[in-house]
């Protein structure tokens, strides 16, 4: 069976290299931040965003515990403010929508900030870049968020970016992800 999270990372690795800039738009407990940090290495940089102080501290501790290079900036702010912090082209970005694993499930990503964050992520994309968006339709906001993102991305010019949805067809409430790629 396909592991969607492993596949998510395989897509990232086709674009992201040592020395690049990446963004974890929803840092959570820091596992995607760790993956991006290790991939860009000492000469690259990762920006990671979360609105919860618990997520920022959990990520900071996780990155220290696993010995990640100190090539990251952890930002305690909403992902829709990314352009206030990142002013260079980005090779890879990761969104893992929903709530903080092990955290308060009443605090979740919301359409009103996720949409501007995705639009900003696309504007920041370098040539031959990628943004992966993991969607969790098993709760009402996640389902609405996913539909909104798919509706928006279906209107973007295919001559500028390619948008692909990867989903398990016979499990409609299972997570899925969207790959957004710029042309080389």
Q: Is 11 left (phi over 0), alpha (psi -120 to 50) or beta?
A: alpha
pTM as predicted: 0.95
Residue 21 has pLDDT above 80, yes or no: yes
Can you give the pLDDT at residue 99? Answer: 63
Residue with token string 């990762």:
46
Contact 48, 73 (CB under 8 A): yes
- Residue count of the chain: 184
Q: The tokens of 25 are what?
A: 């738009």
Residue showing tokens 């955290």: 103
pLDDT in tens, 122-170: 999 999 999 999 998 988 888 999 999 999 999 999 999 999 999 988 9
Average pLDDT of the chain is: 93
Query: Does residue 117 register a pLDDT over 70?
Result: yes
Task: Report whether 36 contacts 63 (CB < 8 A).
Answer: no
Q: Which of 45, 7, 47 is nearest to 24 (CA)?
A: 47
């Amino acid at each position: 069976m396909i592991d969607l999270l492993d596949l998510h990372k395989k897509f990232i690795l086709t674009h992201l290299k040592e020395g690049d800039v990446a963004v974890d738009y929803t840092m959570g407990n820091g596992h995607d931040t760790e993956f991006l940090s290790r991939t860009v290495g000492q000469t690259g940089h990762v920006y990671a965003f979360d609105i919860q102080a618990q997520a920022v501290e959990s990520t900071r501790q996780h990155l220290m515990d696993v010995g990640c290079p100190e090539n990251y900036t952890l930002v305690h702010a909403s992902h829709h403010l990314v352009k206030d912090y990142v002013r260079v082209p980005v090779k890879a970005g990761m969104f893992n929508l929903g709530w903080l694993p092990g955290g308060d499930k009443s605090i979740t990503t919301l359409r009103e900030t996720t949409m501007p964050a995705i639009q900003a992520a696309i504007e920041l994309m370098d040539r031959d870049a990628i943004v992966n968006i993991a969607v969790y339709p098993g709760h009402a906001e996640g389902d609405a968020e996913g539909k909104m993102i798919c509706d928006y991305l279906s209107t973007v010019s295919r001559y500028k970016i390619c948008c692909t949805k990867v989903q398990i067809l016979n499990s409609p409430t299972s997570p899925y992800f969207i790959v957004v790629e710029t042309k080389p």
